[in-house]
Structures are given as structure tokens and as C-alpha cells.
Amino acid sequence: MSAPTARRGLRLRGRLAVTGLALALPAMAAVVWGRHQYQWRSAQGTLLDVARTRVDNGGRAICDGTVREWPPSPHEMGPRSGGAAFGRLVAYDREGKPLDGVGPPLLPALEAARREGRDSAVASGDFGGRPVIQALLRVPWPDARCTHLAFVRPRPAELPHDPLPVAPLGGAFLVVGLFLTALGPVVRRVRRLTVDVRRSAAGAYLHPVAVEGHDEIAELATAFNGAAAEVRAQIEAQEHREQVLRDFLANTTHDVAIPLTVLQGRLATMRRAQVAGEPVPAELVSHAIEDAHHLGALIHNLGAAAKLEAGEPEIVRAPVDLGGVVRRCVARHQPLSDLLGVDLQAAVPEAPLFTRGDVTLLEEAVGNVIYNAIHYNERGGHVAVVLDPLPPGRFSLAVADDGPGLAPGEAAHLFERAFRGQGARARKPAGRGLGLDIAKRVADTHAITLTAEEPEEGGLRISFVGVLTSP
């Protein structure tokens, strides 16, 4: 037996045995006590009836002292169990003493009853080493010499001072034994269920436990199977998330490696020109800066994707100032727009607008849309980021550009992972189409509607529409 098993203490059958004995023994003791009480009360009533009969027939003579009944004959006060007639009357004066000193003193319980002024009382005790029972009666004669008469007789054999009887105790053990025997199949089913549960847990909960019968144990097995199914579903979901993250990391590592290699090559070319004292081409510097921006965007998307895959509680939700999100995203992409010759402008209302969400993810989503609008535009183009309140209690954050727009049929697939339009592939073949996919996932996570439309004047307009909240 292992240490954890040893520390469990009594097993189920042992606990039930102890519980059965704890219930049976007090019950048997109560039965024995009740039987003795019944016998004692019956003996009291019988003795008082006999005592009253004796008092009515010759009690006055004994009370006046003309007849003395004490001491009784030895055979009448001996240890025998005859009828109630065996016994003698003893007269007592106003102080509770035997009249003329004839007879035994009152038992302490009867003396207390006499002092309390009770009309009758019964008690048992010993006189001279012999067990006796004594009934005390107040006499009805005001002018008599005694005030009380006591009827004294041997204690009946049917009122013994028994220890706890053996028969009830044996009955208690018999009941517990039968109870445990009947419980044996239940204990065996519990043990089988325990073995099945351990086997199922060792097998990653792939195999359910056996369900036997239609009682509480069967319900317990069914409940375990339900819990095991939920655990297995969570394990599979976790394995799926981990696989998705591994695939994404592998893809993103490849995506990062390409622009990083290109950037290293351009920086090496710039270094050689500098060492040779030759002028560094401005176009080469611009391409290097653009590669650095692209590399930063990929790294930011990697962090956003990991956070989205982890889900709650990694996604921290709090009031977010949408105007601040727009200003920070525009400031972050201003150097790239200046480098590519694209005019980037923002318009936000004076009154702050708040929504509830993860500020890091929201900035990543908006930044991806702005990056695409700049990156795939033409020199001399324009990008506008506009934040407006919408009634009732909603907002619209739109990124509009005057670039080449989309080819027919591309709008339905714009937010799919790895999708890139024909124009984007022609102008920037190194892209992987992850930015808008992440923007769509962030929007869905925050219950924000993300749409794309092509205005009549050309270009592309991507809008985030969501619910405003209090700061």
C-alpha cells in the first residue's frame, strides 16, 4: 500500500462498520433502558396498589401501635421472587422515624419525598445486605400516632441490576454484519470504478469508464465520462493552438529572414561605398529604411498573433481612447509615408471617444491598415485616417487611400490570411498578406465590424465600426 493510500485512514467498509455500531449500540442501550423503565414503573404501580390494600386492611392498628409487623419472618424477606403480597408494613412518626423504634429507617429517596409532602413514593435499596423495595404512603387518619406507613418487601427478581444484555449486543453485531455483507457488491463496484478512472486518466481520457446499473454509482461514472470528454476537448484545443502557433512561428521566421537578409545586403553595400569614399545612393538608403519598417511590422504582427492565439486572460480589456490610437499610429508611420512620398493625414474629433478593448491589439490592427495603405500606394498619393462618432453610441474609424484599389472579385478575400491582390504582388512581391488577417481577427475579438469598399473616386476605404463606452 502506498503512502497516500495509507493516509486515507479507514476505507469505505470500515467507516460503514463503525457508523453502524455507533448507531446500533445507542439504539440497543435505549431499548434496554426503556425496558427497565417500563418494568420499574409497573412494579411501582403494583406495589402502591398492594400497599394501599394493606393499609386499608389493618393499617390503622399498626399506625396506633396495637399491632407490630416488624421484623418480618426471615423467609418472607429473603431473596425470593414471590407475589406482591410478600412484605410488611412499618409505621413512621412525624419526624420520619420508625414508630416505637420498630422497623428500618426510611430510604433516603423516601425521606426526601416525605419532607416534600408527597402522598406516595417508591424506592429500592438494601436493608441488612438484602435488596428491598419500599412504598411510602401518607395515612388518612389525622388523630393516628403515625403520619406515614411504608410497605417493605424483597426486590422482585424481574427487576435485576443487569449489565448490558448480551442478546441485544449480539443483535447489534448481527445487524452490522448483515449490513456490511449487503454492502459488499457496492464496495466492489466502487473499486472497479476507481480502477477504470485511473486507467482512463493514464490514457489521456481517450477511453470512457464502464457504466453499470442505474443508481448513484452509475451517475458518478456518467459524470466522470462527461468531465473526461470536456478535459479531452480542452487538451485537443490546446494542442491545436500550439500547432497553429508553431506553424505561424515557422512561417513568420521565414518572413522575417527574407527582409532581414535583404536589409543586411543593402547595409553592407552602403558600408562598402562609405569605405571606398563613394557617395551612398539615396535610393539605397530609402530601400533600407523601408525594409526596416517592413521588418518591424512583421515583428509586431508576430506579437499580436501570439496574443490572439493565447486568448483570455492575455487579452487585457480596458477603456481605450480611440483618438490616441489614431495619433500614435499616424506618428509611427509618418517616417515611412515621408520616405515613400505619400501624404498621411489624420482627423479626430475634439471630444475623446472611448471603446473597451486591448490597446496593443487595437493599435496593431489600425497600424496594419495604415501600413498597407502607405506601402501599396504610389508616390504622390494620399492616405487619410478619420475617426467619427456614429449614432447611437457607435464609432467609425476609416483609413482611406487613393491608390490603385482592388481587382474585381478581390474584396471578398481581402481579409483572408496570405491573400494579396494582383497589384500588391506586382508592386511588393515580398509581402505575406498577414496584416489585414490580423486586423480582421482583432476586430472580431472586440466585436468590431471591419469592412472594405472602393469609393467612386478610386482607391480603397477600410472601416472599423464598433461600440463606444464610457472612459
297 is in which domain, residue-wise? 213-314
Lowest model confidence (mean pLDDT) among 126-140, 364-378, 402-416, 421-435: 421-435
43 domain-assigned: yes
Strand 343-347 with 382-390, pairing: parallel
108 in the same domain as 26: yes
Are 91 and 62 in contact, with CB atoms under 8 Å apart? yes
Per-residue pLDDT band at 5 (split at 50, 70, 90): very low
Claim to verify: residue 303 and residue 264 sit in the same structural domain: yes
Same domain, 450 and 399: yes
End residue of a domain, out of 273, 296, 314: 314
Q: Can you name the residues that pair with 125 across neighbouring β-strands?
A: 132
Q: Are residues 138 and 240 in the same domain?
A: no
CA distance 311 to 79: 92
How far is residue 235's CA from residue 233's CA, in Å, rounded to a whole number? 5
Instruction: Say if 273 falls within a structural domain.
Output: yes
Return the SS3 of 274. helix
- Which of 248, 282, 314 is where one domain is finished? 314
Q: Which long-range contacts (CB under 8 A, 24 or more apart) does 284-290 make?
A: 286/339, 286/340, 288/263, 289/335, 289/336, 289/339, 290/336, 290/339, 290/340
> Is 391 found in the same domain as 284?
no
Q: Which residue has the higher pLDDT, 71 or 323?
A: 323
pLDDT at 179: 64
Has residue 392 been placed in a domain? yes
Q: What is the pLDDT of residues 430-442, one digit of tens each?
A: 444 578 888 999 9
CATH code, domain carrying 307? 1.10.287.130
pLDDT of residue 398: 97
Does 461 score more than 90 pLDDT?
Answer: yes
Please count the structural domains in the chain: 3
10 Å CB burial of residue 174 (0-12, 13-18, 19+) is exposed
Domain boundary pick from 290, 314, 338: 314
Judge contact between 159 and 40, C-beta under 8 A: yes
Residue range 155-204, pLDDT digits in tens: 766 555 444 455 565 666 666 666 666 667 777 777 888 888 888 888 88
CATH code of 380's domain = 3.30.565.10
Residue 432 lies in a domain: yes
Confidence tier at 322 by pLDDT (50, 70, 90): very high
**Do 329 and 396 belong together in one domain?**
yes
Over the stretch 324-371, which tens digit does the pLDDT of each residue have?
Answer: 999 999 998 898 898 889 999 999 999 999 999 999 899 989 999 999
* Rounded Cα–Cα distance for residues 387 and 50 (Å): 112
Q: Of 306 and 71, which is predicted with more confidence? A: 306
Residues 331 and 458 in one domain: yes
Q: Report the C-alpha gap between 463 and 450 in whole angstroms.
A: 6
